[in-house]
Amino acid sequence: MIRIGLIGVGHLGKHHRRLLQEIPDVEFAGCFDIDPEVKERERQRGIHVYDSSRALIEDVDAVDIVTPTTDHFHLAKQALQSGKHIFIEKPMTETPEQARELISLADSHDLRMQIGHIERFNPAVNALRELNLNPRFIESHRLAQFQPRGTEVAVILDLMIHDIDIILSLVNSPVEKVEASGVPVVTHSVDIANARVTFENGCVANITASRISQKSMRKLRIFQQSTYISIDFLTKTTEIYRLKEAGNDESGGMPVILGEMEYEGEKKYIVYEQPTIRETNALEEELRSFVRAMQSGDRPVVSGEDGLRALKVARLIEAKVADSRVTS
């Protein structure tokens, strides 16, 4: 059994607490939160509430950190220095320098550190694992209705970073160039932003995020030679359109032939497929993944290095947005 404690039991943290109580091979030790009302709520639920983050850290094998980003670094550093594995919600830290220090600490103590980029565990994303991906153009839209929670940071760190992480995991190439623009609308930080990220292999990603939309949307589209893939994170569906030879089915779904054409001297079919999606709880899957990484000693699915890459690109986009606002 792995003894895990939770720091931060707010809007998202309470879901972590519920799942940590249910996951096999986990002993949920209890929680800590600075809010007296939250502490009392958890006590009434029968949860052990620690008097301090230090007391919790010293009493567990691993720490789940679900606090505002401003607290991530000092809590994670404290846990790692105490020899504890850590799960940190996204974004990993406030700065890349802090992220690098945590990675170094985890490596030097042979500890597992997983970052909470939950969309990696979305069933619609999992459906891509069996496909041969070589994206040449990616377009993403993550639009949300306004809510005060999370507005202490720009929409880039609040929402866009989800798609940044997914895109970096799909494109096997370093970032070459970033262009971006954005504006504040209802808060003092940027509420809507668009970025164009060019990779060294020629792939281009066009990323849009907004937290002032009338309707919610979380979609990502991938274009590559002979294939177009559409992912809807909200409905957890994946659709694939491609040219293929008859009988060559890679997706596991039921293909629909939309037409045929001559392509490179061969007859190809224009096929629509909707891969079979296994319904899962993404948050539960990422916590289970963290547990497996601690048990096996393997690299977590979303490692500290992954969290650092996403953070670096997000901060670069923020800098480009700031530049565009100064020069406009």
* Distance, CA of 130 to CA of 201 (rounded, Å): 22
* Distance, CA of 34 to CA of 220 (rounded, Å): 37
Q: Provide the residue ranges of all domains of the chain, joining segments of one domain with +.
A: 2-111, 121-281+315-323
CB 138 within 8 A of CB 323: no
* Distance, CA of 282 to CA of 242 (rounded, Å): 28
* Distance, CA of 155 to CA of 303 (rounded, Å): 23
At 36-82, the pLDDT tens digits run 999 999 999 999 999 999 999 999 999 999 999 999 999 999 999 99
CATH class of 2-111: alpha beta
- 326, pLDDT greater than 80: no
* Total length of the chain: 328
Strands, sheet with 137-143, edge to edge from the N-terminal-most edge strand: 175-183, 192-199, 204-210, 137-143, 217-224, 227-232, 237-244, 266-273, 256-263
User: What 8-state DSSP symbol labels residue 171?
Assistant: -
At 171-190, the pLDDT tens digits run 999 999 999 999 999 888 89
- pTM equals 0.91
At 305-317, the pLDDT tens digits run 999 999 999 999 9
CB 202 within 8 A of CB 176: no
* Distance, CA of 209 to CA of 156 (rounded, Å): 7
CATH class of 121-281+315-323: alpha beta
Please, what is the angle between helix 96-108 and helix 69-81, to 10°?
Answer: 20
At 257-306, the pLDDT tens digits run 767 777 667 777 888 988 888 889 999 999 999 999 999 999 999 999 99
* Distance, CA of 17 to CA of 31 (rounded, Å): 8
At 192-251, the pLDDT tens digits run 999 999 999 999 999 999 999 989 999 999 999 989 999 999 999 999 998 877 555 554
* Distance, CA of 80 to CA of 71 (rounded, Å): 14
Residue 104, both tokens? 């170094």
> What is the maximum span of the chain, computed from C-alpha positions, in angstroms?
72
Residue 304, both tokens? 């500290």
